[in-house]
Chain A
């Protein structure tokens, strides 16, 4: 059985700044990265290190986004996506295709590839499989957070 780790949880909010303030004030988390690349989806975001993983919050900055429709459907802020880190992305692709699960979106960079599964085929939250070059062990580099793996994200804790 190939490895699969919880690496990032994404939440969606109508407005980003108040949630960032709450995560700072209540949980003591600090923003480590804001990815301008999510702008192409009509979003802004902030990432926080949590243990060896990351918590992301996205918020729509224009009308007509997938995230905005999700907020409408769910009646407000909430969980959005579970992003796992896997050892063999192509095996995962073959598995989901064999099961008839649609791939809603693919992200590709030289060091990072991600398959986002169609939420209507998965149920619950959106699920994605990601392959990060040079990160076979926990705490390694992670492209979505612009994290190079040279410093532990947050020694205070992590997802259970």
Chain B
């Protein structure tokens, strides 16, 4: 659909956009298919980690 290849990375299907990666996992939370999590590059090391807001898992990782 978006004319980018599906690649396996660390056992998960991914599609690389120009500036981000879509990662597909099995729907395992009982809510069905949907957007479940976001990885964000974070310059502030004190904020890094995993937090849940608005039903989304935000993973703050090193920039």
> Given known contacts A28-B47, A95-B3, is B58 in contact with A78 (CB within 8 Å)?
no
Kindly list chain A residues whose C-beta atoms are within 8 Å of the C-beta of B61: 160
> Given known contacts A5-B18, A27-B47, A124-B34, is B1 in contact with A101 (CB within 8 Å)?
yes
Task: Enumerate A71-118 residues with CB–CB distance to B below 8 Å.
Answer: 73-82, 84, 95-96, 99, 101
Q: Is the CB of B53 within 8 A of A1?
A: no
> Given known contacts A79-B35, A160-B39, A160-B61, is B1 in contact with A6 (CB within 8 Å)?
no
A157 to B40, CA, bound (A): 7
Q: Is the CB of B1 within 8 A of A95?
A: yes
Q: Is the CB of A124 within 8 A of B53?
A: no
Kindly list chain B residues whose C-beta atoms are within 8 Å of the C-beta of A124: 24, 33-35
> Given known contacts A9-B38, A156-B42, is B55 in contact with A77 (CB within 8 Å)?
yes
A contact residues vs B (CB 8 Å cutoff): 1-6, 9, 11-13, 19, 22-23, 26-28, 50-52, 57, 73-82, 84, 95-96, 99, 101, 122-125, 127, 138, 155-160
How many B residues face the partner with a CB closer than 8 A?
A: 35
Q: Is the CB of B19 within 8 A of A74?
A: no
Residue of chain A at shortest CB distance from B61: A160
Kindly list chain A residues whose C-beta atoms are within 8 Å of the C-beta of B3: 1-2, 95
